[in-house]
Amino acid sequence: MIALAIVGLTFGLFFGWRWLRVGIPPQAAPPAVAVVATAVTPREVPSALEAVGSLRAVQEVTLAPEVAGRVTAIALQPGVRVSRGAALVQLYDAPEQADRVAALARMKLAAAQLARTRSLVPGGAESQELLQQRQAEYDQAAAAVRQLDARIAQKRIRAPFSGQIGIRRINLGQYLNPGDAVATLTAIDRLYADFTVPQQDLGKLRLGATVRLTTDAWPSRTFRGRVTTIEPRIGEDSRNVMVQALVINSDSALRPGMYVTAALELPPRSNALVVPATAIQTSASGDSVTVIRGHVPSRAGKAEIVPVVIGRRIGNSVIVTSGIRPGDVVVAEGQLRVQPGAQVRVVRLVSATTQASGV
């Protein structure tokens, strides 16, 4: 009896379990995740060689006197633009001015005597030797005037070129020695952008090439220049070559000493694979994208995480140098909700140049 009961219980449990398996409906698959995607197609993209550098004035000088003297007049104003030749500072020159008056009188007397002697020589009233003496006296008197003119000119500081005056460093009545700084004069309408590039990029450099400049002082603006000089030698320590570009600064937005990022324009790169910058996922293991695999990946399929190597950024897009192929469909938005192998559904396709919006 006990054996029959055990057999009956066993059959009951077996058929009950079979009935439960048949009666429970299968669990439904999770719904496909809606994403925005882009189809990878080769395209031509602008190419550039990027470097960092700084701006330098084409013309800049620290104004200083050539001779010692006391400041008697100051015509310069800080921050004001002046023209070439403008008188900026006057040093005390009364003794030189008085000496010039006397020297000018001696020159006029020597000129009169020379003219009189020259008129008498043809008739024999005066000798040729006296004429030569009068000529020498006049030349000496004229040289004395020119010498005093030069000394007087040294007492006046003029603008050697047109530019903008910096901060004034002198006061009226101050005694200056030769070389004492008065102020800076800077021409900011034209600037040099100096930057370095690695020696392996030397073959890409060309005189006259366009350079795009950006700076954090004007984040929304791009300035342009032209390569004017390529240093003929490579730096022994850095193995870099110095490049200089001329930038027209007509609105004075840029200033000497500014830090800039320079992008040297190169011939366009063809067959580049570009994806929206939002498609790139960055982690400790590197960069990756989510590729949709399936019969019609532009509509739906399974998600696969693919490691990639990225190049430079172009606006809202990024060049991918390895990891994907033409024809791949890459998730541009929504990949944070996608697990590897999950089903995804493409609700919208965007190009690499389109600014995607949230799903």
φ, ψ for residue 187, nearest 5 deg: -90, 110
What is d(CA 138, CA 232) in angstroms, rounded to the nearest whole number? 53
Sheet holding 69-74, edge to edge: 156-158, 87-91, 69-74, 175-176
Query: Which residue in this structure is represented by tokens 């000088």?
Result: 61
What is d(CA 285, CA 273) in angstroms, rounded to the nearest whole number? 22
- Tokens at residue 115, please? 């003219």
Query: Which residue in this structure is represented by tokens 């694979």?
Result: 273
Instruction: Find out whether 63 and 181 touch, Cβ atoms under 8 Å.
Output: yes
pLDDT (0 to 100) of residue 25: 56
Bridge partners, residue 289, by sequence: 306
What is d(CA 90, CA 160) in angstroms, rounded to the nearest whole number? 15
Instruction: Find out whether 310 and 318 touch, Cβ atoms under 8 Å.
Output: yes
What is d(CA 46, CA 315) in angstroms, rounded to the nearest whole number? 11
Angle between helices 94-120 and 128-154 (to 10 degrees): 160
Q: Would you give per-residue pLDDT tens digits along the chain (359 residues)?
A: 455 455 454 555 554 545 445 555 556 567 889 999 999 989 888 888 889 999 999 999 999 999 999 999 999 999 999 999 999 999 999 999 999 999 999 999 999 999 999 888 888 777 888 889 999 999 999 999 999 999 999 999 999 999 999 999 999 999 999 999 999 999 999 999 999 998 888 888 999 999 999 999 999 999 999 999 999 999 888 889 999 999 999 999 999 999 999 998 888 888 899 999 999 999 898 999 999 998 787 788 999 999 999 988 887 889 999 999 999 999 999 988 989 999 999 999 988 764 444 44
Is the pTM value of this prediction over 0.75?
A: no
pLDDT (0 to 100) of residue 24: 52
What is d(CA 257, CA 28) in angstroms, rounded to the nearest whole number? 66
What is d(CA 80, CA 95) in angstroms, rounded to the nearest whole number? 32
What is d(CA 146, CA 140) in angstroms, rounded to the nearest whole number? 10
pLDDT (0 to 100) of residue 17: 46
- Sorted by sequence, the CB contacts under 8 Å of residue 72 that are 6+ apart come out as 90, 91, 92, 172, 173
Domains delineated in the chain:
33-45+270-349 (2.40.420.20), 50-58+188-269 (2.40.30.170), 62-176 (2.40.50.100)
